[in-house]
Amino acid sequence: YDGKCVFCRIARREEPGTALLPCQYEDLVCFRDIRPGAPHHYLVVPVEHMGNCKTLKAEHIPIGKAV
């Protein structure tokens, strides 16, 4: 968890203006983008903080397969 990361705060339900949508995977959260590029624009992010793609490891592969 990184308290400075908006996605971490959303995943922990610490951002009151962001409603989480139903998601069948407990390690992912889904919500509407605050600046949508299309009428139906959603973001799906992992609950676990992941800095950027350079920090990913082999243990993160199952998260990518879930989507």
The enclosing domain of 34 has a CATH number of: 3.30.428.10
pLDDT at 3 over 70: yes
Q: Considering the domain boundaries, does residue 1 fall inside one?
A: no
Q: Considering the domain boundaries, does residue 61 fall inside one?
A: yes
Q: Considering the domain boundaries, does residue 10 fall inside one?
A: yes
Q: Considering the domain boundaries, does residue 16 fall inside one?
A: yes
Domain that holds residue 31: 6-65
Instruction: Give the pLDDT confidence of 8-19 residue by residue, as tens digits.
Output: 999 999 999 899
Say which DSSP state 22 is in: P
pLDDT at 64: 64
Give residue 31's identity as a one-letter amino acid code: F
Closest CA to 43 of 59, 67, 13, 17: 67
Q: Considering the domain boundaries, does residue 36 fall inside one?
A: yes
* β-pair type (28-32, 42-46): antiparallel
Instruction: Give the pLDDT confidence of 15-52 residue by residue, as tens digits.
Output: 998 999 998 888 899 999 988 999 899 999 999 898 88
Number of domains within the chain:
1
